[in-house]
Amino acid sequence: MLDQLVESRSHAGEDTKRGGLLLTTTVIMVAILIGAYLYSLFGKDFDMGGDTLALQTLVAPPVIEEAPEPEPEQKPEEAQKNPNVDVRKEIIASMTETPPKPPETISTTKNTIPARDPNKYTVKGDINYSAANAPPPDYKGPVNTSGTGSDSALRGGDGGGETGAPPPPPPPAKKEPPKQISGGVLNGKARSLPKPAYPAAARAVRAAGTVTVQVLIDEAGNVVSASAASGHPLLRPAAVAAARSAKFTPTMLSGQPVKVTGVIQYNFVAP
């Protein structure tokens, strides 16, 4: 009976030790895992010092200077700026002006010196010259009496004209395009009018009558187009063929040859 007795005592102390050992072991394992993870992070090579992550110096873009605007071309100064004026060997008043003094001598010879223009500045010189655009008579500045001043491109003649520059030639007259007239029946105007052949088909049915052919004649008198306007159908082809071979005298209008439209009539008689 005694050897079968089981000793009964409290195991609370042992359970406490076992729990503390297990907790300690767990904390150590977790610390080891965290340390290993952190080591792997710091030990990994992220190529921070390599060429794949090179820092480049930021440089501001160069400033493009705009090209300076070209200076406007300076026109060469004209050698002579003085305006041209009317020049007369002798200043004679015009018909609309009162003579400043009566003439010293009376002559019946025609005077070749033209009268001055009261609307232009006129000076006395060795030639008779009319400027194209002379200044007004109250002009006070310097002048040019040789015709090479500011209006040298519009030089006058010997004083016979008001504007000096000759008038432009008239444009050549344009020739009017050839006209076309109607000549009516043209049989009598032909210089060659071949007779049409009598078709065998028309002969078989004894077709007869008048065939009218509309024609257009050019400036040389040749038939350029022909078409039957009326007549028996079996006789029309022969009439048109004969009309194309006809020749006419050219028709003149105001000295120019013109085209003519009209008709040619062929009379077919049954055999």
Q: What is the per-residue pLDDT for 2?
A: 45
- Whether the model clears a pTM of 0.75, i.e. scores above it, the answer is no
Indicate the helix (H) or strand (E) that contains 236.
Answer: helix 236-244
Q: What is the per-residue pLDDT for 152?
A: 47
Whether the pLDDT of residue 222 is over 90: the answer is yes
- The pair of structure tokens assigned to 261 is 């439209």
Q: pLDDT for 143-184, tens place per residue?
A: 777 666 666 444 444 444 444 445 567 777 776 656 788 888
Domains of the chain and CATH, by start: 79-166 (no CATH), 180-268 (3.30.2420.10)
- Reported as a pLDDT band with limits 50, 70 and 90, residue 80 is very low
Q: pLDDT for 98-114, tens place per residue?
A: 766 776 777 677 777 77
Q: What is the per-residue pLDDT for 8?
A: 47
Q: How far is CA 137 from CA 50, 90, 254, 259, 269, in A?
A: 96, 16, 54, 64, 95
Task: Count CB-CB contacts under 10 A for residue 164.
Answer: 22
**More confident position, 16 or 133:** 16
- The string of DSSP codes covering 65-126 is PPPPPPPPPPPPPPS--SPB-EEESS----TTS--SS--SS---SPP-SPPPPTTS-EEE-S
Q: pLDDT for 227-257, tens place per residue?
A: 999 999 999 999 999 999 999 999 888 888 9
Q: Residues 220, 247: contact at Cβ < 8 Å?
A: no
Q: Using only C-alpha atoms, what is the Rg of the chain?
A: 62
Task: Count CB-CB contacts under 10 A for residue 196.
Answer: 21
3-state secondary structure of 33: helix
Q: pLDDT for 182-196, tens place per residue?
A: 888 999 889 999 999
Dihedral pair phi/psi, residue 119, rounded to 5°: -95, 5
Q: Average pLDDT in the 51-67 region? A: 59
